[in-house]
């Protein structure tokens, strides 16, 4: 019997767990511990919040009334320092103990800080929290020379936001076509060249070292790229899952907190959700997922486990990113596709790319055509077979293909 649940971490995974517990009928005591003032949504940190067009209150994950309405005790400005599953409690930094029959770890991750010489400079930023964004924002003034390292989702979004604010942006990545794996080569190439069309200078390079100079920070690159001086640098090179609490509690950790398909860790009293959770499925450790919606689904599964109810039906993984005024979405696993089909023209967004395998859609990605991805998601989930020629024809309503 679970009477008291403590959720450690107020990101999308933690808040979704709390919401799903109450939606599922959990009547017990429910606490959510968060380091900040209140839980906020992270995707806007590289976009509207960084640009200053939305403040922290406008990106709150829930309204302040929600916590009372849902009887979620928000333990804010607090840090959990130890899990004590055998004592039925978690311990906070100020010595308080929160009683817990079950603990849900939603600890997220920190920005990766690669060991580049000179990366400790004050001019070098990362972007993971609202505080990071607040610290970066003053550096993004018109004419500022900004180096963004890493052209994945966050790096590309920061580059797009910064160039819109008037910065001179250089975006480097060691890979020629970033995001080719999740989006497919056609769309990824289009997307990367979009930077150039919006006055972002892109280069295939990695940074060897940074050196503080009186008038900026100098970056030296691998290969034959000339060293360059910048006012600020943003490292967007991935995240490191926060697993310390799990390790201290003796839970199984393997580049992530190992969980089963119901989000339960190696200790049945402790569950883990979101970025740091790593699922073992039929004996195999899967890669961690770091996407917003996947974290929500983890929360729904964890709640079902606590409640002893059937888990929600699985659905193809989905993500979005926004840059240079375009909305991009991806669903499914492009790596599983044996061929791709383009719907629309790369010269004229909107368009979508579908990844097929054996007459079935296994993935899709779109630029300014989210309905194509919503249709694709249903095609993947329902395992419908499709006619590739009709899929490619923008005159064919995708809903008719969905009916099989």
Partner 1 sequence: MSDGIRVAALDDIPQGEGIAIDKAVTGTADDIALLRDTDDSVYALDDTCTHGDASLADGWVEDGYVECPLHSSKFCLKNGDVQGLPATRNACPHRVEVRDGEVYLFPGETP
Q: Which residues contact partner 1 (rule: CB under 8 A)?
A: 12, 15-16, 19, 41, 43, 60-63, 66, 293, 296, 318, 320, 327, 370-371, 374-375, 397, 399
Shortest spacing between CB 115 and partner 1, in angstroms:
35
Contact 323, 162 (CB under 8 A): no
Contact 334, 341 (CB under 8 A): no
Query: Which is closer to partner 1, CB of 315 or CB of 333?
Result: 315
Query: Which is closer to partner 1, CB of 66 or CB of 141?
Result: 66
Query: Which is closer to partner 1, CB of 248 or CB of 397?
Result: 397
Shortest spacing between CB 211 and partner 1, in angstroms:
41
Query: Which is closer to partner 1, CB of 15 or CB of 169?
Result: 15
Shortest spacing between CB 136 and partner 1, in angstroms:
22
Tokens 């979508």 belong to residue: 352
Contact 44, 56 (CB under 8 A): no
Shortest spacing between CB 123 and partner 1, in angstroms:
32
Shortest spacing between CB 58 and partner 1, in angstroms:
9
Query: Which is closer to partner 1, CB of 39 or CB of 241?
Result: 39
Shortest spacing between CB 130 and partner 1, in angstroms:
15
Contact 336, 357 (CB under 8 A): yes
Shortest spacing between CB 212 and partner 1, in angstroms:
39
Torsion sign (Cα): 22, 331, 313, 392: positive
Q: Which of 230, 225, 191 is nearest to 213 (CA)?
A: 230
Shortest spacing between CB 56 and partner 1, in angstroms:
14
Query: Which is closer to partner 1, CB of 30 or CB of 98?
Result: 30
Shortest spacing between CB 381 and partner 1, in angstroms:
12
Tokens 């044996």 belong to residue: 338
Q: CA-CA distance, 154 to 268, in Å (whole number)?
A: 35
Q: CA-CA distance, 342 to 239, in Å (whole number)?
A: 32
Taking CB atoms within 8 Å and a gap of at least 24, the contacts of 245-253 are: 245/8, 245/80, 245/82, 245/83, 245/105, 245/107, 246/83, 246/105, 246/107, 246/270, 246/272, 246/276, 248/82, 248/83, 249/82, 249/83, 249/84, 249/85
Query: Which is closer to partner 1, CB of 61 or CB of 235?
Result: 61
Query: Which is closer to partner 1, CB of 129 or CB of 371?
Result: 371
Query: Which is closer to partner 1, CB of 76 or CB of 350?
Result: 350
Shortest spacing between CB 399 and partner 1, in angstroms:
5
Query: Which is closer to partner 1, CB of 62 or CB of 243?
Result: 62
Residues in the chain: 404
C-beta atoms surrounding 288 within 10 Å: 18
């Amino acid at each position: 019997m679970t009477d008291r649940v403590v959720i450690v971490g107020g990101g999308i995974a933690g808040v979704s767990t709390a919401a799903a517990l109450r939606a599922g009928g959990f009547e017990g005591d429910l606490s959510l511990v968060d380091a900040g003032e209140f839980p906020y949504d992270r995707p806007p940190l590289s976009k509207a919040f960084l640009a200053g067009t939305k403040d922290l209150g406008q990106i709150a994950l829930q309204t302040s009334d929600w916590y009372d309405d849902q009887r979620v005790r928000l333990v804010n400005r607090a840090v959990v320092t130890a899990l004590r599953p055998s004592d039925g409690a978690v311990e906070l930094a100020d010595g308080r103990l929160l009683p817990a029959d079950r603990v849900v770890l939603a600890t997220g991750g920190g920005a990766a800080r690669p060991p580049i010489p000179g990366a400790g400079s004050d001019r070098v930023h990362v972007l993971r929290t609202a505080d990071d964004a607040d610290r970066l924002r003053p550096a993004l003034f018109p004419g500022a020379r900004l180096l963004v390292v890493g052209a994945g989702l966050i790096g590309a979004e920061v580059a797009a936001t910064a160039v819109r604010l008037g910065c001179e942006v250089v975006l480097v990545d060691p890979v020629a076509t970033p995001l080719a794996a999740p989006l497919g080569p056609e769309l990824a190439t289009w997307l990367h060249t979009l930077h150039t069309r919006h006055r972002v200078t892109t280069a295939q390079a990695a940074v060897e070292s940074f050196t503080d100079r009186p008038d900026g920070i100098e970056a030296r690159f691998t290969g034959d790229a000339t060293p360059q001086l910048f006012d600020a640098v943003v490292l967007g090179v991935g995240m490191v899952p926060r697993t310390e609490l799990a390790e201290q509690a003796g839970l199984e950790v393997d580049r992530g907190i190992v969980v089963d398909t119901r989000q339960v860790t190696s200790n049945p009293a402790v569950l883990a959700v979101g970025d740091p959770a790593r699922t073992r499925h039929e004996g195999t450790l899967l890669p961690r997922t770091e996407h917003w919606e996947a974290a929500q689904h983890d929360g729904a599964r964890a709640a079902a486990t606590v409640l002893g109810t059937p888990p929600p039906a699985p659905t193809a993984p989905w993500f979005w990113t926004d840059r240079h005024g375009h909305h991009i979405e991806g669903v499914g696993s492009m790596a599983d596709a044996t061929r791709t089909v383009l719907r629309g023209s790369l010269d004229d967004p909107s368009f979508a790319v579908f990844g097929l395998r054996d007459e079935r859609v296994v993935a899709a990605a779109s630029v300014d055509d989210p309905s194509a991805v919503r249709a694709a998601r249903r095609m993947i989930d329902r395992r419908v077979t499709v006619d590739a020629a009709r899929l490619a024809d923008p005159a064919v309503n995708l809903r008719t293909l969905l009916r099989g």
